[in-house]
Amino acid sequence: MKVLVWISFVLSLFFSCSGKEAQECGTLQDGDLTTVCRVVGERNRFLLNWSQEGAVKSYKIWSSGEIPSRDPVAWQLKGSVDGKSWAVIDEQREQAFCSRYQEKLYAVKHPESYNYYMLEVEVSRGDTVVLPEVELYTRNLTVNWEHFAYPEVVFTDEDDTSRGSAYYRQLVQIPEEYIKYHTRKVAEILYFKASDPMPEVRKIDYSLKNFNGVSYKGGEPPVVHIVYSTQHIEKSAEESLFKLDDETRGVLYHELTHAYQQEPKNIGSYGTNKTFWACIEGLADAVRAEAGLFDVKTLRKPGGNWMDGYKTTGFFIQWLTTKDPDAIRKFHQSVRDLETWSFDGAIKYVFGEQQSIDGMWQEYQAFLTSEENK
């Protein structure tokens, strides 16, 4: 399980190595991508207070919801034992973010244990750079995924004069890279490592179309196609660009899960067997929920059945991670390994023969009822 360490800024300090005052910005540590740190000047330095044991081995930096020209392009991450002598532990140049509110993950090139960390961002004279969030990690989050096979993505906008299309372009600047990024994010939730057996998705045809609906996936690996509704985009953008980002990523997580997930064996097909259907759609919404792209606390209610599919099944599968952080991966692995798949068989596969789907569902319902009564 990843160890997430929030960075905190020591404000109004003077750097003994440069004599330059630190930029004051408390919002870079608040976990909120809608609050930003706005910096102007040639170089801006932020001293980070590090209280964890061990070295920083990877980090993430996000783009904001503002125009792309205000994204950070070049920076250095530095470490120091005494706060006076600094070593560059990672440097990035000519970086580009494929969308608004986009994370980029980096493995630290020279990880060592330091007491202090500093982020130094390059800014051209007179220009503005906007930073919403930075996170540091004591674990290298790229391990086991460096060799993930990204598919070719072909993007087509078939409704390019619509408001929905305009909103999408405001949100996503490089759609091919945006979709590629999400393929790996989905695979990381479904699988333990990039070398695990998984459907070989070589090409994704992704298109925007004008229709009354949300999105759908067609085809089978190696070539799949995904269609996203410009009508739905327009509706989702009514509240804010951030709301559109949340919905667009969530829908994409769901559809890409269909491209990368295993299918149950010996129980019929999606159109002929309800267990098959509930497994497929439930896992897709479980992946979206695990990515944090559902308002689970609002949408998750007592009642229903694990065979109901979509959110009802998905929230249940995602809840299993409270018992085992790898529960979604193991549940999905059961789809690959069980000769005749069932929900009861999957629960036994993940938690042992003493467990059952009926017992686990009853426990889940009791949890939901207790949450509702709080």
What was the pLDDT predicted at 291?
A: 98
* Non-local CB neighbours of 139 within 8 Å, separated by 6+ positions: 2, 3, 57, 58
* Non-local CB neighbours of 141 within 8 Å, separated by 6+ positions: 2, 58, 105, 107
Domain final residue pick, 109, 137, 165? 137
Domain final residue pick, 216, 233, 260? 260
- Together in a domain, 256 and 331: no
Question: 5 - beta bridge partners?
Answer: 136
Cβ pair 350, 330 in contact under 8 A = yes
- Together in a domain, 371 and 255: no
What was the pLDDT predicted at 259?
A: 99
Q: What is the pTM of this model?
A: 0.92
Identify the CA nearest to 143 among candidates 234, 56, 57.
Answer: 57
What was the pLDDT predicted at 49?
A: 61
- Together in a domain, 63 and 128: yes
What was the pLDDT predicted at 17?
A: 41
Q: 84: domain CATH number? A: 2.60.120.260
What was the pLDDT predicted at 34?
A: 94
What was the pLDDT predicted at 37?
A: 86
Cβ pair 299, 312 in contact under 8 A = no
What was the pLDDT predicted at 103?
A: 98
What was the pLDDT predicted at 1?
A: 34
Phi, psi of 170 (to 5 degrees): -65, -35
Q: How far apart are CA 188 and CA 203, in angstroms?
A: 19
- Together in a domain, 27 and 58: yes
Domain final residue pick, 190, 225, 260? 260
- Together in a domain, 244 and 279: no
What was the pLDDT predicted at 44?
A: 82
Helix (H, G, I), strand (E, B) or coil at 207: strand
Q: How far apart are CA 25 and CA 85, in angstroms?
A: 23
- Together in a domain, 209 and 309: no
Q: Which amino acid is at 11?
A: L
- Together in a domain, 54 and 118: yes
Q: How far apart are CA 6 and CA 161, in angstroms?
A: 42
Domain count, the chain: 3
Identify the CA nearest to 55 among candidates 108, 93, 97, 4.
Answer: 108
The full length of the chain comes to 374
Cβ pair 211, 231 in contact under 8 A = yes
Q: Which domain holds residue 30?
A: 4-137
- Together in a domain, 132 and 15: yes
Lookup: tokens for 309: 């599919």
- Together in a domain, 291 and 188: no
- Together in a domain, 206 and 278: no
pLDDT per residue of the chain (374 residues) written in tens, 0 to 9: 333 333 333 433 334 344 455 555 678 778 899 999 888 776 688 776 678 889 999 999 999 999 999 999 999 999 999 888 999 999 999 999 999 999 999 999 999 999 988 899 988 777 889 999 999 999 999 999 999 999 999 999 999 999 999 999 999 999 999 999 999 999 999 999 999 999 999 999 999 999 999 999 999 999 999 999 999 999 999 999 999 999 999 999 999 999 999 999 999 999 999 999 999 999 999 999 999 999 998 999 999 999 999 999 999 999 999 999 999 999 999 999 999 999 999 999 999 999 999 999 999 999 999 998 88
- Together in a domain, 230 and 328: no
Q: How far apart are CA 319 and CA 350, in angstroms?
A: 13
What was the pLDDT predicted at 43?
A: 64
What was the pLDDT predicted at 18?
A: 42
- Together in a domain, 197 and 162: yes
Q: 223: domain CATH number? A: 3.40.390
